[in-house]
Amino acid sequence: MDLVIAVGGGGQHIALAIARLLRLEGLSDPIEAFVIDADGDSRLAQKVRTFGNTVSPVVPHPLEGAQTVVPPFARDTMKETQFRKVFIDDRADPLERELFELFFDEESGGVEGGTGPAGGVDIGKGMFANPSVGSAVFAASKGGAMEPLFGRARTAARIFVVGSFLGGTGAGITHQLIKLVRETVGPAKPIYGAFLLRWFDLPPTTGQTVDTATLLASMGHGLEYFYRYTKPLLDASMLVGVPDNPPPQVKAAPAAADNDETVSIYPLLAAWSLVMLPDKTDTQARAAHRTYGLTHDDNDAIWPLRRAWNAPRNPNSRDPSLGARVVEAVVLQEIYNSFRAKDSDFTEFDYEKGRSTWGSLLGNAAKRNNTSGTALAREVLGALEARGAQLRFATWWFGQVFGEADLSQFGDPRARQLYAARKHRTWKAPDAFKVLVDAFQFEGTAGSEKSRLVNPTPAALMAEKIERSLLAALRS
């Protein structure tokens, strides 16, 4: 299993992109995540942990491990989270106090006896674009806080470290973290890095520690340190940021308020590193510790959707592009909506051939679980709607990134046909049930794949199996 270590806010944005790609089968399983950030309760962190409030007992998180955001320090042992009080207490001698004042300004380190903003950075809520704060805190408590990470790194097939060099967490701890991971796993295990440079715009601010100037300063120092010390520890790396004079579709996005998700193409491009870096890295390239970038195709704004990110399973699609996966996800959502629009056709098996296909399958499963086929069908329909909510969370984001892109050119013929019906508003509920009937010729092979569910209910298992069968029918 590959391990993605997502550091800070930039890392969480990339982790969300990876999770969305996994849900759409745009990336290969299995991938595990270890997410590191000081503020595990921010809107962004909540979105990462819950995959946009779509995770439930009937549908898992697409990215295993992302359900937890781990602070880069041992929070459980800390009585105080104000940066100054973590290091300087009543027992500190004059030399310690003098050194602290020398290394940290009043905005980050606060003032003696200060409270609120005058008390310095509250590391429990983040590093507030202060890499020196992040670096000091991580160095002081890295052992206990990161020990679970090192255990996972030892068993991972490959390791990807993702984040940015802009904020206090990413720029402050990424370099130390990579050094510790490399020392833990040894020189032979592949470790790759993908890092965001400036990719969003902050509004003009006054009297705050975080502004565009501090972000750019952090990026400059981070890049200098990266090229001097960190890059040789990685087999290959990728840097992604806003180019000079960018076209409209790749300009820096305005940063979201209240530490929420900033919708942008750049986390998606950073996620591409999971495919691109191993493919580009032969033995010679590993020895050279190469760093890559991506060139935007100004004549084709949706070029990432044309890339073959993954050969999908069960069965392979004739169109391996990411755009095809998005089209399939849009069609699946429409199918699930149609099931609810005519729920008696689904739960009472009133559709022609319904009883002999999914009705028979659900009926047999119901007998094994001492319930009725109709009752189980209602639970399965609810589970399919939960799966549809996850697909909607993914496809909504792609729509925001690429706008009203014409996706009718993507996908296998059956998926394209149904996507066109939806796009032109000629979709009819029987279309969905016909696909469902056709899907059951693939039911045997679709059910042979190992379930991702933990302690699944019969309805959750059946919904997972139906979705796999539907995908097989769309790709047939």
Per-residue pLDDT, 436: 94
Indicate if the pLDDT at residue 141 is higher than 80. Answer: no
Per-residue pLDDT, 65: 95
Give dist(CA 292, CA 274) in Å, integer: 13
Output 172 or 25, whichever has higher pLDDT: 25
Neighbours of 155 (CB within 10 A): 10
Indicate if the pLDDT at residue 350 is higher than 80. Answer: yes
Q: In order of start, what are the domains of the chain with their CATH numbers?
A: 2-75+125-296 (3.40.50.1440), 91-121 (no CATH), 322-474 (no CATH)
Average pLDDT for residues 297-317, to the nearest whole number?
Answer: 85
pLDDT digits (tens, 9 = 90+) for 30-53: 899 999 887 788 999 999 999 999
When pLDDT is cut at 50, 70 and 90, the band that residue 375 belongs to is very high
Indicate if the pLDDT at residue 127 is higher than 50. Answer: no
pLDDT digits (tens, 9 = 90+) for 314-339: 678 899 999 999 999 999 999 999 99
Average pLDDT for residues 403-417, to the nearest whole number?
Answer: 92
Output 341 or 210, whichever has higher pLDDT: 341
Name every residue whose Cβ is closer than 8 Å to that of residue 413 and which is 6 or more positions away in sequence: none
Our separate counts of H helices and E strands in the chain read 20, 9
Query: What does the mean pLDDT of the chain come to?
Result: 84
Please compute, for residue 234, the number of CA atoms within 13 A of its CA located in the half-sphere on the CB side.
Answer: 28
Instruction: Specify the range with the lowest mean pLDDT, choosing from 208-222, 326-340, 412-426, 452-466.
Output: 208-222
Task: Tell me how far the alpha carbon of residue 415 is from its chain's centroid.
Answer: 26
Ranked by mean pLDDT, which of 70-84, 206-220, 277-291 comes out on top? 277-291
Cis? peptide before 203, omega within 30° of 0 = no
Per-residue pLDDT, 312: 74
Q: Write the single-letter amino acid at 393.
A: F
When pLDDT is cut at 50, 70 and 90, the band that residue 135 belongs to is low
Per-residue pLDDT, 205: 61
Give dist(CA 376, CA 199) in Å, integer: 47
Three-point CA angle 310, 313, 314, nearest 5°: 155
Bridge partners of residue 33, in order along the sequence: 4
Find tokens 């890392």 and name the residue.
Answer: 11
Share of the chain above pLDDT 70, in %: 80
Please compute, for residue 48, the number of CA atoms within 13 A of its CA located in the half-sphere on the CB side.
Answer: 35
Alpha helices, DSSP H, located in 403-428? 413-423
When pLDDT is cut at 50, 70 and 90, the band that residue 240 belongs to is very high
Instruction: List the strands of the sheet with 236-240, edge to edge.
Output: 69-70, 31-36, 2-7, 159-164, 191-196, 236-240, 290-292
Average pLDDT for residues 123-151, to the nearest whole number?
Answer: 60
Average pLDDT for residues 240-263, to the nearest whole number?
Answer: 86
Task: Produce one character per residue of 268-285: b if its CB has 16 or more CB atoms within 10 Å, e if not.
Answer: bbbbbbbbbbbeebeeee
The DSSP annotation for 200-235 comes to EEPPP-SS-S-SHHHHHHHHHHHHHHIIIIIGGGSS
Q: 3-state SS of 62-103?
A: CCECCCCEECCCCHHHCCCCEHHHHHCCCCCCHHHHHHHHHH
Three-point CA angle 371, 374, 380, nearest 5°: 90
Residue 401 structure tokens:
């990134």
Indicate if the pLDDT at residue 157 is higher than 60. Answer: yes
Per-residue pLDDT, 423: 87
